[in-house]
A and B are shown apart, each in its own frame.
Chain A
């Protein structure tokens, strides 16, 4: 059948979905699946307190062992072409956002930003490691600028270190606001302004403090590097590629000021996305539209992040009380931050797995014609989304499994840190508040899936 694209009669679609792009939502999970997931999480949690190792293990495993030199060398040879591809994709996305058609189904930018980049990299990083550290186009640009000025981009400058990860947390909050609270998340002008503002903000910091700023000030880069702690692959201080037990890297996460902020913003953001898909939220929003809708959603996003954070801070406060430890709340809160990373990933997968599978196919099609000019660069322009590649049941299993596995990994990481800091007896007691908060996150995450 010949394509009749030219005869299109339907104007550009305005997706009503809150989460950037996509006009399909997942079905609510079955109550029995919810019950099994919650029960399994509870059982594992209490077993963990009794049966898990009495001495810390993750830190020793976090380094792993070196991979054969040939593998390392092959990985290094991939870096340059991969950087070139990432830079080209970034430039194309920016160009599409500014100059492409204002139609989410014909323009690469929304799908590239919300699906391939945002969801894709959150899934890729825990598997293959912190590849974004080198692929990040902002890093490539900042490093080139550093070299032009006769500076070594790899030598970190201490002058911007006072900010920690707080600029990253703010940047991610801005992105999540655009995606989840702004009433036109797929609007090309909004995406163009966001991408440009983000790029300028990060590069200004890099010009001031050196390219190292990109790795602490770019919210996406920070988040992906935190998620890469779960990966079996990492590079040591000397840059050698090493393989380790997946998740053991959580013991080696460097928690700076604002790192917890990054994790809580993302955890709260995903939770809010779940909230907006409930009928209850539909009643709250009513028939509000435009900026009125944005105002309500902004309030909802901020309150959700605040609630998720408050629950966590309360829990770590009681950890300190139970461990009879004289440690200020900020330090206590930072200490347990890495155990939230797998939970954040579980939430992300649970909420965006189907979006990635389906809209990821759109991304492949749009790559061939990123600016809506009728091109067919890679022969994929006419590809259509096959909604049968995964079944509704498979999606539901992945959703529940992601939340439960994220929960288990969080419990294990917290336990390992507890036996590292406290006597075995205190370690077990100290974990009750954290366990309670993780169960609360897990059950609320599952409840959102149940009421989707």
Chain B
């Protein structure tokens, strides 16, 4: 858990993420195609170089280009749809999180972080290039959101 990459990446991701809009209905079932509501997409592809925090923000109008979509919801301090999710090495994984409270989500190892806004859905794009079982955690709630098993 090197502190520097973690913080550096977190800072960069936070600095470059944009909350596109804060409107739309709050139906959590519509998050598979997150075009209907407020969406923040954060993309990171860890590479050998230090610039692993290359984060981009995509428009909420376009569907997420991902090989694998994981939907998870934080409701009343509980995680719905957590647990271990298995993805293939090299896949682009979209983790779509809808939360009823503000929080900070962090994908360990990949060092991708994003802010969660209450009532909105946030999409983290992770290029699954590091094998292993990685924790994706919620910092404020202090608990595990899910595990990403990359093999």
Using CB atoms and an 8 Å cutoff, list the residues of chain A in contact with chain B: 1, 3-5, 7-11, 13-17, 21-27, 103-106, 111, 279, 282, 287, 289, 354, 359, 361-362, 365-366, 372, 381-385, 387-388, 391-392, 452
- B residues 90-136 touching A (CB-CB < 8 Å): 104, 106, 108-109, 113, 130-135
| A13 with B143, Cβ < 8 A, contacts A25-B133, A384-B50, A387-B130 known | no
By Cβ-Cβ distance, the 6 closest A-B pairs, closest first, are A392-B131, A23-B108, A25-B133, A384-B5, A8-B7, A16-B144
A8 to B104 CA separation, bound complex (whole angstroms): 12
B1 near A: Cβ within 8 Å?
A: yes
Q: B4 to chain A: which residues have CB within 8 Å?
A: 3, 5, 365, 381-384
Contact digits for B1-36, partner A, Cβ 8 Å, 1 yes 0 no: 111111110111011000000000000000000000
Tell me, rounded to whole Å, the shortest Cβ–Cβ distance linking A227 to chain B.
Answer: 27
Given known A-B contacts A105-B1, A105-B2, A10 and B135 have beta carbons under 8 A apart: no
> B139, A14: Cβ atoms under 8 Å?
yes
Known: A4-B8, A9-B104. Is A106-B3 also a contact (CB below 8 A)? yes
> How many angstroms from the CA of A8 to the CA of B15 in the assembled complex?
10
Since A16-B144, A105-B1 are in contact, a sample of 13 more A-B pairs with Cβ atoms closer than 8 Å, ordered by chain A residue number, is A9-B14, A10-B10, A13-B6, A13-B137, A23-B108, A26-B133, A27-B131, A27-B149, A104-B1, A106-B3, A365-B4, A385-B1, A388-B130
Give the residue among B2, B15, B48, B143 with the most A Cβ atoms within 10 A: B2
Contact residues in B for A1 (Cβ distance below 8 Å): 8, 50-51
In the assembled complex, which residues on chain A have CB atoms less than 8 Å from the CB atom of B137? 13-16, 23
B76 to chain A minimum Cβ distance, whole angstroms, is 12
The distance in angstroms between the C-alpha atoms of A103 and B7, with both chains bound, is 12
Known: A24-B133, A27-B133, A391-B131. A8 touches B2 (CB 8 A): no
CB nearest to B131 among chain A residues: A392
B7 and A24 contact, CB distance less than 8 A? no
Beyond A11-B139, A105-B2, A365-B4, whether A24 also contacts B134 by CB under 8 A is yes
Contact B104 A24 (CB under 8 A): no
Interface centre among B15, B51, B108 (most CB of A within 10 A): B108
A14-B137, A15-B135, A27-B151 as given contacts; A4 in contact with B6, CB under 8 Å: no
| A9 and B51 contacting across the interface, CB-CB below 8 Å | no
CA distance A9 to B11 in the complex (A): 6
Contacts of B108 in A (CB 8 A): 13, 23-24
A11 contact set on B, CB distance < 8 A: 104, 139-140
Most chain B beta-carbon contacts within 10 A, residue among A11, A16, A366: A16
Whether A384 touches B2, Cβ cut-off 8 Å, given contacts A1-B51, A10-B113, A287-B78, is yes
Cα A15 to Cα B144 with chains together (Å): 8
From residue A246, how far is it (CB to closest CB) to chain B in Å?
A: 31
Contact A25 B132 (CB under 8 A): yes
Quick one: which of B54-100 are within 8 Å of A by CB?
A: 78, 83-84
A452 to B142, CA, bound (A): 23
**Could you show 6 A-B contacts with beta carbons less than 8 Å apart?**
A16-B137, A24-B132, A279-B84, A365-B3, A372-B3, A384-B50
Q: For residue B51, which residues in chain A have a CB less than 8 angstroms away from its CB?
A: 1
State whether B135 touches A16 (Cβ < 8 A).
yes
A414 to B32, CA, bound (A): 59
Among B1, B50, B131, B139, contact of A10 (Cβ-Cβ < 8 Å): B139
The interface centre, meaning the residue of B4, B130, B133, B151 with most chain A CB atoms within 10 A of its CB, is B4
Query: In chain B, what residue has the closest Cβ to A30?
Result: B151
A358 to B140, CA, bound (A): 26
CB distance B2 to A361 under 8 Å?
yes
Set of chain B residues within 8 Å of A5, measured between Cβ atoms: 3-4, 7-8, 11
Minimum CB–CB distance for B106 against chain A, Å:
6
Q: Which residues of A contact B150 (CB under 8 A)?
A: 27
CB distance from A396 to the nearest CB of B (A): 10
Of B3, B8, B84, most buried by chain A (CB within 10 Å of CB) is B3
Asked if residues B6 and A105 are in contact (CB atoms below 8 Å), the reply is yes
Q: Which residue of B lies closest to A101 (CB)?
A: B3
B139 in contact with A387 (CB, 8 Å): no
Residue in chain A with minimal CB distance to B145: A16
Q: Is the CB of A10 within 8 A of B134?
A: no
Distance between Cα atoms of A10 and B106 in the complex (Å): 9
* CB of A27 to closest CB in B, whole Å: 5
Q: Determine which of B8, B106, B151 lies in contact with A392 in the assembled complex, contact meaning CB atoms within 8 Å.
A: B151
Q: How far is the CA of A27 from the CA of B133 in the complex (A)?
A: 6
C-alpha spacing A365/B5, complex, angstroms: 11
Closest residue of chain A to B139 (Cβ to Cβ) is A11
Chain A residues lying within 8 Å of B144, measured Cβ to Cβ, are: 16
The smallest beta-carbon distance between B27 and chain A, in angstroms, is 25
B109 and A24 contact, CB distance less than 8 A? yes
CB distance from B147 to the nearest CB of A (A): 8
CA of A7 to CA of B1, assembled, Å: 18
Please measure, in the bound complex, the distance between the C-alpha atom of A104 and the C-alpha atom of B50, giving whole angstroms: 22
